[in-house]
Amino acid sequence: MFDVLSSPKHMCNGVTRRELLQVGGLGTFGLGLDQLLHRQAAQGAPQPGVHLGNLGTSFGQAKRCIILFLYGSPSQHETFDMKPNAPVEIRGEMNPIASSLPGLDVCEHLPETAKVMDRSTVVRSVVHPYPIHGVAYAMTGIPAIDVTLELSRYDPRHQPYFGSVVEYLDRQKRGGAMSQTVQNVALPFPFSSQRSDQPFRAGPYASYLGGAYNPIWSEFVGEGTKTITKARTGFSFTGKEPYLGCTPDSHFRIAATQRQPTITADRMDRRRSLLQQFDESRRHLEQTPNGKTLSKFQELAFSIISSPRVAKALDVRKESRETRDLYGMTLFGQATLAARRLLEADTRLVTVFWDEYGLAGDAWDTHTNHFSRLKDQLLPGFDKAYAGLILDLERRGMLDDTLVVVASEHGRTPKLNKNASRDHWSRAYSALFAGGGIAKGNVVGASDKYASDVADRPVSPKNLLATMYHLLGIEPETRIPDRTNRLMPILPEESDVIREMLA
């Protein structure tokens, strides 16, 4: 047995962090120890639920999925549920414009998105009881969330991320065999890794499914074009902000395949030593069935992340300048373009996070400078990326079988705070969907006259996830084994598909 050259840090699945074989960053980017891959592949098939019945032909219509997650939570008032007749302290200072869907107005700073609303469905009645940054609550089956869980990504109470469940169930359909390309990718960099003053947040991790089913994370290669200063109590950041604009040579890569600038020669030597120890141990195992299987999974894991096909898909520089400009020359726009390229390379699911950059309390978490941040930093970048994605998928003939999801943790307060901004609010907010079995030009649910509470057809984030699973051909009642092989539901029992969203 080989020893690992660092202090152990235990993960949520009971193994240590270094036992996940962090050679070249594999542990960080979701490829665990190959024994773990073997163990996961050997697990039994999931237990199917009862078919949901009369939901038309939508089941399994989405062959692939892109999730655009706007971390920090955009305001329903300044996006898809404007209230122009409300008092000024509620309606704010932005105006509505007509969209391509008659009767549906959107914010004036979403002119490109307005043109594709006839291809989209807006859900205006999302509600839940947790107005905190619970990415885990929004994107996993966990029944409740609190601040401790939000900031504890390896807490054993967590449940697997949506993309991890999809990858796991897809692998079971293949009899436990790994795909020849990455199936669950997240962009543009490991979640909450680009802020300096808080621990990593929870949410996009495989939990009890094990590290083999974590998303494979990219890293951003490039730099911003505009310098910005951000501040919150006790912290500040000044630097080039790639979400505002990035250089034309910007692209993405799976960091585990290349040496990162921050890795010192000493750390590289340690990783080489770890590989040597592994190779020595493997020689002793080669004549045993377990050793041969271990070798097979190691080789397959390395071949997947080093695949030229994956590297090519992430290199958005290969696209025409016209297409890159369609998505917007920003970090979010180019990451969304990379997501489309990954789908063309047979990746099943890609998540693009609009994440904090520089410090916590960033991205769409607009407790201060709400309107200026929306106008100058947030809405324009989203507007180009979402509209560009819809139009690009459509012209490539991919929209009808590609599910596009725009989600977040919650909404924002109806009444402006003392900073003329909006705080957390989960009693009524919006989500946006398109493609892959989603009805075109549709509005589901409604909020009251102030977008304060749901007035019609309340739905929870779990209903949204149930609908997403359904469209990807997964019964929401499916159960999967946890660490002790106990069968666990992927969603709470009451998580019904939202029929009104379906084509």
105: phi then psi, degrees, rounded to nearest 5:
-95, 150
Q: At what angle do helices 289-305 and 265-285 cross, to 10 degrees?
A: 140
Q: Which CATH number describes the domain made up of 18-501?
A: 3.40.720.10
8 A C-beta contact, residue 74 and residue 113: no
Q: What six digits make up the tokens of 302?
A: 């390395």
- For 368, other C-beta atoms within 10 Å of its C-beta total 16
Instruction: Quote the CA–CA distance of 388 and 112 in Å, as a whole number.
Output: 8
**Domain locations in the chain?**
18-501
The tokens 């300044």 sit on which residue? 78
8 A C-beta contact, residue 437 and residue 58: yes
Task: Look at residue 35 in the predicted model and tell me its pLDDT.
Answer: 41
Instruction: Quote the CA–CA distance of 206 and 288 in Å, as a whole number.
Output: 30
The residues with which 224 forms a beta bridge, in sequence order, are: 246
Task: Look at residue 197 in the predicted model and tell me its pLDDT.
Answer: 66
- Taking only the tens of pLDDT, the chain with its 503 residues reads 332 232 333 333 333 333 333 333 343 344 443 444 444 444 444 344 334 445 778 999 999 999 999 999 999 999 999 999 999 999 999 999 999 999 999 999 999 999 999 999 999 999 999 999 999 999 999 999 999 999 999 999 999 999 999 999 999 998 888 787 889 999 999 999 998 767 789 999 999 999 889 999 999 999 999 999 988 777 888 999 999 999 999 999 986 543 344 444 454 444 445 545 545 544 554 444 444 444 545 555 666 666 788 999 999 999 999 999 999 999 999 999 999 999 999 999 999 999 999 888 899 999 999 999 999 999 999 999 999 999 999 999 999 999 999 999 999 999 999 999 999 999 999 999 999 999 999 999 999 999 999 999 999 999 999 999 999 999 999 999 999 999 999 999 999 999 999 99
Instruction: Quote the CA–CA distance of 101 and 97 in Å, as a whole number.
Output: 11
8 A C-beta contact, residue 386 and residue 67: no
Give the H or E element holding residue 267.
Answer: helix 265-285
DSSP string, 284-317: HHTTSHHHHHHHHHHHHHHHHHT-HHHHHHH-GG
Tell me 150's DSSP state. H
DSSP string, 375-412: IIIIHHHHHHHHHHHHHHHHHTT-GGGEEEEEE-S-EE
CA-to-CA dists, residue 378 to 70, 191, 243, 409, 457, angstroms: 10, 18, 8, 16, 29
